[in-house]
């Protein structure tokens, strides 16, 4: 057994009695003890309760009882998501002692399918950064190079999945928070269609988790695209209060092979800096898909990049304003009239994308214009810049590709596309029409068969690395 096996394979081994849940849990715990000091991905453990649950899972297998699709799988959960009886902080000192009484709806669904929650993974404060660090737990590092960030805000989640510290992860994504870490850590991630997975229990401010946050979604992070499909089936569905009358039936993918799959390619825009090396990896990936007989065309919906990202930025500021001090929140959130106007603009953009997808199966575009970059916690996110092709690029400008897709609520699967000359992973967004989440997930499977998919990072060297400065 390898801890980097796909979750589906691990679950099959447990159900088939080739592997015990307790054995797998202990493997993850031993691995965390060995490599997590250099990563700081897992920040809270619940070992005793998890061991009891794993023993019960093994007993159920031995007795031949019915098993859920995730039976016996030990998992960690992003620390911005509430887990009953387990410290859940959102990366904020204000919630340093917060122990929820109930699971987030999505967590409850994972448990009902047989998963065992044994820990929490690190996030930036209120999930509001593209790096992962906070006052409570310090800095999380990338398993491909601990001097670099795993991204944010689900940085601890993606690092844990990449390093084989958990079976899979549950993250959140309001501005790329699943997609960016998946890209930077070389794993698969899914930003589902807005509203497909309940987001109750999301800790983005004190008192948060009781209502839905605009733009935000919950999404899985995994080492295999088939795991995304498995987890989508477990997680998707209406909120409990709507289950009396509502049902969700995501359609199967329209195409199951690369041949003839019509993919629009949108890899550059002057308003969003792209590192030459990352761009070269994506172009090479597109060429290889074309060689595999996918129909790759330089095409995208007739929308203005800057305009659509501008709508996203306006709605994003309103969505995250509850996490800010009162005066700042009032300043950035804008008027309700302005929000309604932006929402109308968003509805118009959704119609444009829907019409374009009548002729195309997918859009292929970047996740982020750079690969994993060195830790930089100076000042605030709004002040930070990166060198991209010899020019300064603000961190916020790099969010354009994530916002472009997020604002219209479309499903986007991230798949590894290759690596830079220095070995850093590069991911690609595979965007499908609204509620065609399984098309995006199937595309990730097809792409991985051509481009290679997940490769384990060199974690055997991690215990020799010096962790970045910061509170541990």
- List residues with catalytic annotation: 78, 153, 177
Q: Say if CB 96 and CB 206 are below 8 A apart.
A: no
Q: Say if CB 155 and CB 132 are below 8 A apart.
A: yes
How many CB atoms are closer than 10 A to CB 389?
13
**Residue 312 phi, psi (nearest 5):** -60, -50
> What is the token pair recorded at 19?
């592997």
Which residues pair with residue 419 across a beta bridge? 425
**Angle at which helices 7-15 and 21-39 pack, to 10 degrees?**
150
Q: What's the CA gap between 391 and 4, in Å, rounded?
A: 38
How many CB atoms are closer than 10 A to CB 338?
12
Backbone Cα Rg of the chain: 21
**Looking up tokens 């800010």, which residue turns up?**
324
- Contacts of residue 59, defined as CB under 8 A and 6 or more positions apart, other chains included, come to none
> What is the token pair recorded at 32?
């965390």
Alpha-carbon distance values, 420 to 15, 172, 184, 288, 455 (Å): 39, 27, 11, 16, 14
DSSP state of 317: H
Q: What's the CA gap between 127 and 78, in Å, rounded?
A: 10
Q: What's the CA gap between 378 and 396, in Å, rounded?
A: 15
Q: Which long-range contacts (CB under 8 A, 24 or more apart) does 428-431 make?
A: 428/183, 428/282, 428/285, 428/364, 428/365, 428/366, 428/367, 429/179, 429/363, 429/364, 429/365, 429/366, 429/367, 429/401, 429/405, 430/362, 430/363, 430/364, 431/362, 431/363, 431/364, 431/365, 431/405
């Amino acid at each position: 057994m390898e801890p980097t096996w796909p979750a589906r394979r691990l679950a099959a081994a447990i159900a088939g009695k080739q592997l015990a849940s307790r054995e797998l849990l202990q493997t993850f715990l031993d691995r965390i003890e060995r490599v997590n000091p250099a990563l700081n991905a897992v920040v809270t453990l619940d070992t005793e309760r998890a061991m009891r649950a794993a023993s019960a899972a093994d007993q159920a297998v031995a007795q031949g009882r019915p098993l859920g699709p995730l039976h016996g799988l030990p998992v960690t959960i992003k620390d911005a998501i509430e887990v009953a009886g387990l410290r859940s902080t959102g990366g904020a000192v204000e919630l340093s002692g917060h122990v929820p009484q109930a699971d987030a709806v999505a967590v409850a669904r994972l448990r009902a399918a047989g998963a065992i929650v044994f820990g929490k993974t690190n996030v930036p404060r209120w999930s509001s950064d593209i790096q992962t660090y906070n006052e409570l737990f310090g800095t999380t590092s990338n398993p491909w190079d601990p001097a670099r960030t795993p991204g944010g805000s689900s940085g601890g989640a993606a690092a844990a999945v990449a390093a084989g510290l958990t079976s899979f992860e549950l993250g959140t994504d309001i501005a790329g928070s699943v997609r960016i870490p998946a890209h930077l850590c070389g794993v698969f991630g899914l930003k589902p269609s807005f509203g497909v997975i309940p987001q109750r229990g999301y800790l983005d401010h004190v008192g948060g988790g009781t209502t839905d946050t605009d733009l935000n979604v919950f999404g899985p992070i995994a080492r295999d695209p088939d795991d995304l499909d498995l987890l989508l089936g477990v997680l998707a569905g209406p909120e409990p209060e709507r289950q009396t009358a509502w049902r969700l039936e995501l359609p199967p993918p329209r195409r199951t092979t690369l041949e003839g799959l019509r993919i629009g390619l949108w890899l550059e825009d002057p308003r969003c800096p792209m590192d030459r090396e990352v761009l070269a990896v994506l172009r090479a990936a597109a060429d290889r898909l074309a060689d595999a007989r996918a129909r790759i065309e330089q095409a995208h919906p007739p929308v203005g990049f800057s305009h659509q990202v501008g709508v996203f930025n306006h709605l994003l500021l309103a969505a995250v304003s509850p996490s800010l001090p009162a005066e700042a929140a009032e300043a950035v959130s804008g008027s309700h009239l302005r929000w309604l106007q932006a929402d109308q603009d968003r509805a118009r953009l959704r119609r444009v994308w829907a019409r374009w997808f009548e002729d195309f199966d997918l859009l292929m575009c970047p996740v982020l214009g750079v690969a994993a970059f060195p830790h930089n916690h100076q000042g605030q996110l709004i002040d930070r810049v990166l060198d991209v092709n010899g020019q300064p690029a603000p961190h916020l400008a790099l969010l354009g590709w994530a916002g472009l897709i997020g604002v219209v609520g479309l499903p986007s699967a991230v798949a590894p596309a290759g690596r830079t000359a220095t070995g850093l992973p590069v991911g690609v967004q595979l965007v499908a029409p609204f509620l065609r989440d399984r098309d995006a997930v199937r595309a990730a499977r097809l792409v991985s068969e051509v481009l290679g998919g997940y490769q384990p990072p060199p974690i055997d060297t991690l215990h020799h690395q010096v962790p970045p400065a910061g509170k541990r």
